Structure 1
């Protein structure tokens, strides 16, 4: 799966602002187990992040991140079967 296809999946998934962590603005999508098509899209995005990741620390914990478009995406669980959330945050603007 290429980045264009992943971007189409990202546009289809529902993203919610994480209001309990407004001091660190980011969004999340939740696995839709009751919707086969959305569940498959979640799995594709999860696997894309896992296959193209880099490690970054947050609060002393290592997470797998992947930059796609304007956002950094990360997964919180190494097991796709127990993963229910994928997060994203806008990448910082680089000043040249």
Structure 2
């Protein structure tokens, strides 16, 4: 089993546990390319950039595309003021 499919499966499992609420009109994750680097910026400051379902879906889709590209050599994650390190996830209320 490839690490890409394993990572995609894990992202889908996490996504199933997240909230799907949109909090702003702006995208919650911003993407840009700069030469051989790809940069994503978490853009959900009101929630301290806690990941939600939509963010995980966007990240998963874009990172899979970058993984397949020969032009992408580095992926950099950023966030203004707050940065979710993976443990800060917003769960759905029961």
Q: Tell me the TM-score normalised to structure 1 length.
A: 0.28
Which structure is richer in relative contact order (CA contacts within 8 A, separation 6 or more)? 2
Flag the structure with higher helix content.
Answer: 2
Q: Tell me the TM-score normalised to structure 2 length.
A: 0.28
